[in-house]
Structure 1
Amino acid sequence: MKYRTTTLAFILATTMAGSAGLAVAQNAGGKAEIYSLMPDTALSGLIDPNMPDRTDIEKAWPKKPATTDKIKVGWTEITMGNPFFVELIKGAQKAAEGSNLDLDVQVADGDLQRQCSQIDTFVTQAKDVIVVDPTDTLGIAACINRAVDAGIPVVAIGTVPSDKARVLTTITPNPYENGFGAGQYIAKDAGQSPIVAALIIGVVGNSTSESRLNGMVSGIVWQRVQDLGLKMTKEEAMLRGYKLFQSAKQSGSFKDDELKFEVVAMSEGKWTEEGGLAASEDMLTAHGSSLTHIIADNDWMGLGALRALRNIGSDGKIKVATSADGNRIALDEIKKGNLLVTGTFSGEQMGVSTSVFLKKIFNENLDAQNLPLGSYFPASAITKENVDQFIDPNPDNKFYKFEVSPILNIKQIREQAAK
């Protein structure tokens, strides 16, 4: 997989067969209500244009390594039991080749105590920096802060931890914006026809899953608001979508007659194809006669939904949409017309980008003192109109083609939002 650095900013928002507007528009009347809800498990990736400064937070930065010939990196990965994470580590190692980064990768197997023990071991070993893919966004904060107090900076990846964790930043795709762009595409594809959907979430309570699905619901709402000519700002539409998603989360359904948008069921799929298959079978049994869409937060669950539809001879009758991960199988299904949309959420991109970031802060004097808690990749909706642009001719790439994007500091983010 070849990659290159581009001038795109991490906070650039969803691109959908072109470019869509930023979800960070200024509000003349003060802070929009949607931003006052943050942090929230369903809003990971939403950018507050007035985010607080992080300069004065003690983050063990700047850090002078013991020797510039070797930057000792302690890396605790959440699991290696999924192709996503295997590609993540392969990408990180590949990007570190030929540099002074020395990666020591340990696997937590989803166990918070094991991950904390690994962090403590890295402190004892006097690593120069620690990379953490959090097993628990709240529980990991104290363990991260122990390392910081010992003088070792920490970079999170994958999932933004609690704001109590004094990390330099979090390197990650954007769950909310990927969902938002996919949701807009779902609504554009449907025109003004009613949308009656079933939702498949990886795990309720997981911020990545919740933010993807909330983003999809909110993207549908915003596109419907525009198509129907309703007088509502984008932030108001996002708030309306958020409240609808909360209804689905609490009761499994919602109905918005004005927007002609209804969710009749919501089920967990554990991020797997088998989980998506089982969830879809149950929801098709109960609601198959009325469904227009099955909306899943990742490709594997979406592929499970496609299997369920094929098993009952209903493929093509109910549309399936996802907002991540952009894996090669999903891209092929989009090209065939079986899957409506997915989003860019590659493990390899995350691993490569993390190693590139480490090289920049240690070797190229990138100032990491005032970076946002979450530094998000540009989000893109992958559809039949643009899928060919994302398919890598290199078959070894299990996901999409990508470019490594530099991180903006908080001052730059505010300036971007003000334009």
Structure 2
Amino acid sequence: MSATRGPWRPAFITVGVALLLVTGCGKAEDQGVVAPTGGNDAVQATSSAPAGGSCTLQQFGGDKLDLKTAKVGFSQSEKEANPFRIAETRSIRDEAAKRGIANLQVTNADSKFSKQIADVEQMIDSGVQLLVVAPLNSDGWDPVFQKAAARKVPIITIDRKINAKHCTDYLTFIGSDFYEQGRRAAKQMATALENKGTVAILLGSPGNNVTTQRTAGFKDEIARSAPGITIDFEQTGNFSREEGQKVAEQLLQSKPSITGIYAENDEMALGAVTALKGAGKKGGDVKIVSIDGTRGAVQAIVDGWLHSVVESNPRFGPLAFETAQTFFTGGAVAENVIISDREYDRTNAKESLPVAY
């Protein structure tokens, strides 16, 4: 997202339990993101809609549609061993059922990009009229775009962006501001280390904007506000607990004096906890900050192993289908719908366990 934007006027739109703030393009600190309140199903978000940055059915092409009778496809990218993916798919299924959408087709790519492309192409061939996609990668979607465009099938991407043309290749992106997540994690790390020390980054999977932006946000904020902290190690753990553990084990052998670990998701953070325990470390010896907000990670804060967690909200169902409803009834849809994220630390982790996913 660009930090440059033209003038805008905020407009509040109430969407079920969702509160949307339509703003100009920019990072989350410019968008006025509000921390969500309420229980597991409460959703609040902001969306950016700069001049020329929205899409309508008239612009995109196609016909008005009743979602209740529509054929809808949802493509999940990764195995549902990850709590984020479990919560994400459940949110899509639950909201579809709540809205009376009887014809929902769900596929899972099992973390194989070629399978995800084949899954989505098959759903288009089967006649789906709307696609909700959680992309494994941000590039490589051209065959899908061509097939979807030929049949005027709008694509809503969730949690990861696709590098493509808005209102031509895809309809909208719904997800977190990943750059802002990285900045918030850096601020937490600076607090944990009192602005001095050496930090390792357990990188997410290469080839998607989540990893790129969470890394950039973290590094930029450390350089800006905590120059006494040195980033001394970076290696991908592919968002996996097992790989996160292996990388952390290598880290502790090669950099035994490391004082902080920034894990770009909770699974890698929990893998790092296992490595620390195996190395005879105690909770708090190495400060760990991560992103996701899974129940296991929030519990690890309570237990003293994690310092803090920035949530990445997986409950996209209400926003995805409300956005689709707006589009198919002739309304304008913003290019980016940015869902707001909580933050967990020692001050609220125990009481927040029921909210974590």
When normalised by structure 1's length, the TM-score is 0.68
**Could you tell me which residue of structure 1 aligns to residue 175 of structure 2?**
172
**Could you tell me which residue of structure 2 aligns to residue 353 of structure 1?**
319
Which residue of 200, 203, 213 corresponds with 1:201?
Answer: 203
Which residue of 302, 313, 319 corresponds with 2:280?
Answer: 313
1:22 counterpart SS class? helix
CA distance in 1: counterparts of 2:58 and 2:147, whole angstroms: 12
How far off its partner does 1:327 sit?
Answer: 0.4
Which residue of 16, 19, 44 corresponds with 1:7?
Answer: 19
**Could you tell me which residue of structure 1 aligns to residue 29 of structure 2?**
22
User: Which runs of structure 2 are paired with 1:369-388 in the superposition (5 Å)?
Assistant: 369=333, 371-372=334-335, 374-388=336-350
CA distance in 2: counterparts of 1:131 and 1:312, whole angstroms: 43
How far off its partner does 1:278 sit?
Answer: 1.0
CA distance in 2: counterparts of 1:385 and 1:351, whole angstroms: 29
CA distance in 2: counterparts of 1:313 and 1:108, whole angstroms: 38
State percent identity of aligned pairs.
21
CA distance in 2: counterparts of 1:295 and 1:343, whole angstroms: 11
1:197 partner letter: V
**Could you tell me which residue of structure 1 aligns to residue 64 of structure 2?**
64
How far off its partner does 1:309 sit?
Answer: 1.5
Give per-residue Cα distances to partners, 1:9-53, cap 9 Å, x unaligned. Answer: 38799xxxxxx981569xxxxxxxxxxxxxxxxxxxxx9997863
How far off its partner does 1:178 sit?
Answer: 1.5
**Could you tell me which residue of structure 1 aligns to residue 300 of structure 2?**
333
Q: Kindly tell me: are residues 64 and 360 of structure 1, through their superposed partners in 2, closer, same or farther at Cα, counting changes over 3 Å?
A: closer
User: Which runs of structure 2 are paired with 1:18-417 in the superposition (5 Å)?
Assistant: 22-23=29-30, 53-55=53-55, 60-61=60-61, 63-65=63-65, 69-83=68-82, 84-101=84-101, 102-164=103-165, 166-192=169-195, 194-224=196-226, 259-289=227-257, 291-315=258-282, 316-322=284-290, 324-347=291-314, 349-362=315-328, 365=329, 367-369=331-333, 371-372=334-335, 374-388=336-350, 390-392=352-354, 399-400=356-357
Q: Kindly tell me: are residues 303 and 79 of structure 1, through their superposed partners in 2, closer, same or farther at Cα, counting changes over 3 Å?
A: closer
Which of the pair is proportionally richer in strand?
2
1:355 counterpart SS class? helix
- 8 Å contact 1:173–1:379 — kept in the other structure? yes
Give per-residue Cα distances to partners, 1:128-162, cap 9 Å, x unaligned. Answer: 21112223322114412421231211111121001
Q: Kindly tell me: are residues 275 and 119 of structure 1, through their superposed partners in 2, closer, same or farther at Cα, counting changes over 3 Å?
A: closer
2:246 counterpart SS class? helix
CA distance in 2: counterparts of 1:367 and 1:154, whole angstroms: 16
Give per-residue Cα distances to partners, 1:88-143, cap 9 Å, x unaligned. Answer: 21221111214232311122334444333333333333322111222332211441
When normalised by structure 2's length, the TM-score is 0.79
- The structure, 1 or 2, with the larger RCO (C-alpha pairs under 8 Å, 6+ apart) is 1
RMSD: 3.2
Unaligned residue ranges in structure 1 (runs of 5+): 14-19, 26-46, 225-258, 394-398, 401-419
How far off its partner does 1:272 sit?
Answer: 1.7
- 8 Å contact 1:321–1:342 — kept in the other structure? yes
CA distance in 2: counterparts of 1:12 and 1:331, whole angstroms: 33
